[in-house]
Amino acid sequence: MSLLDKMKTQAGQLAEKAQQGVAQGKDKLDDLQAKKKADALLRDLGAAYHAQQRSGGSADAVQAALAAVDAHIAEHGATDTAPSAPPSAEGGGGASYSLDDV
């Protein structure tokens, strides 16, 4: 095998790995966007329910918000509905992020 053939083979392998990396990055981005959308839908559901219970908000708004959450789950799978922990007073109220969040 000539040097040129080896270089072509290696270039092909590198291109394939780069495409795999791009695909993984896109999948991660899609997952993060779906999580962000789920968080917003759950927030809207909570707001609609709170309005219904405390200030005479409509049951239709709650049902519409619930339908939107159900549709999102049907498209993207189950979402994390566990309550989040309140921010700690020690952290100064700032957000903490890590590379795993990206």
Residue-range definition of the domain harbouring residue 52? 6-76
Using a cut of 0.85, tell me whether the model's pTM lies above it: no
Indicate whether 38 belongs to any domain.
yes
- What is the residue type of 18? A
Indicate whether 30 belongs to any domain.
yes
Indicate whether 13 belongs to any domain.
yes
Residue (of 83, 98, 80) closest to 31 by Cα position: 80
Q: pLDDT confidence of 102, banded at 50, 70, 90?
A: low
CA angle (46, 29, 39) in 5-degree steps: 5
Residue 96: pLDDT over 60: yes
Indicate whether 15 belongs to any domain.
yes
pLDDT digits (tens, 9 = 90+) for 34-89: 999 999 999 999 999 999 999 999 999 999 999 999 999 999 998 887 877 776 65
Indicate whether 89 belongs to any domain.
no
Q: How far apart, in Å, are the Cα atoms of 70 and each of 45, 52, 63, 85? A: 11, 19, 10, 24
Indicate whether 17 belongs to any domain.
yes
Indicate whether 26 belongs to any domain.
yes
Q: Say what the pLDDT of residue 82 is.
A: 81
Indicate whether 98 belongs to any domain.
no
Domains in the chain, number = 1
